Amino acid sequence: MDLGLKDKVVIVTGAASGIGKAITEAYAAEGAKLALADINLTGLTKLQKALKGTEVYVEQVDITDAKACKKFVNNVAKKFGKIDILVNNAGTAKMGDMETFPEATFRAHAELMMYAPVRLTNLCIPHFKKNGWGSVVNTASVFGKQPGGLISYDSIKAADIMITKDYSNYCAPFNVNVNAVCPGPVDTPLWHAKGQLGDQLAGATGMAKADAIDWFAKANIPMGRYAKPEEIASAVLFLSSEPAHYITGVAINVDGGMVKSFI
């Protein structure tokens, strides 16, 4: 199937590692032109060098900063002359007791995973209107549909799903579709890096980190394993493709059968 992504200009946030890196590589394989944002400039530069033969613009961006977002989008439009696709992917998560979870952390997570996608979508809409075509894909989560014990992450991802649906209605008259992918647990640094969810889960269960990660998968995911980042990327590419353009307002689970709700 021809996805119609060749020469599309694609913005990906949180592109330097994990799901964002896999999404970037998948678009590159389809011949898209890429604009990548992350706070990890070293990771971005390394990825840019690896994507030989692909037009890639990278910028170190703190997307919680409204001025930085505006500057980035303007730079992308100036570089490529247009913007076709926005992938709001940047995110993080932290376990914690709900009674004592720091309000400052909750607010920081909301700035990163809720306000920033809204901000970037609004900045890209004028470019989509100019094109007469556009696509937005938000990385939400199955934990926006059922609780996963992460108070900030769960609630913000639930908000992201509703934001996706609201924007799908708003953008449809402009020939812009807006969808979300809802991964379950994915084999990325969010689980394996020092201090991240694997270490947090190990502390909560008293298990060794590797054992805790394996236990969680087998206890909660019917397929018994975490998703590969490339499996999430495939869903993102399809939703932003020409053949899928009539699909809008959906939040599709990519979770190995983890969620059984009708929503």
| Active site (annotated) includes residue 153 | yes
Of the candidates 153, 167, 170, 226, the residue annotated as catalytic is 153
* Token pair of 64 as six digits: 């919680």
**E-only strand ranges, the chain:** 9-13, 33-38, 56-60, 85-88, 134-139, 176-183, 251-254
List the one residue out of 111, 79, 112, 91 whose CA is nearest residue 10.
Answer: 79
* Token pair of 59 as six digits: 């910028």
Please name the helix (run of DSSP H) or strand (run of DSSP E) that holds residue 210, with its range, or none: helix 209-220
- 191 Cα distance to chain centroid: 16
At 217 the three-state DSSP class reads: helix
For 96-145, give the secondary structure using H, E and C: CCCCCCCHHHHHHHHHHHHHHHHHHHHHHHHHHHHHCCEEEEEECCHHHC
> How many CB atoms are closer than 10 A to CB 105?
14
List the one residue out of 71, 68, 76, 66 whose CA is nearest residue 118.
Answer: 66
Position of tokens 């975490």?
226
Residues serving a catalytic function are 153
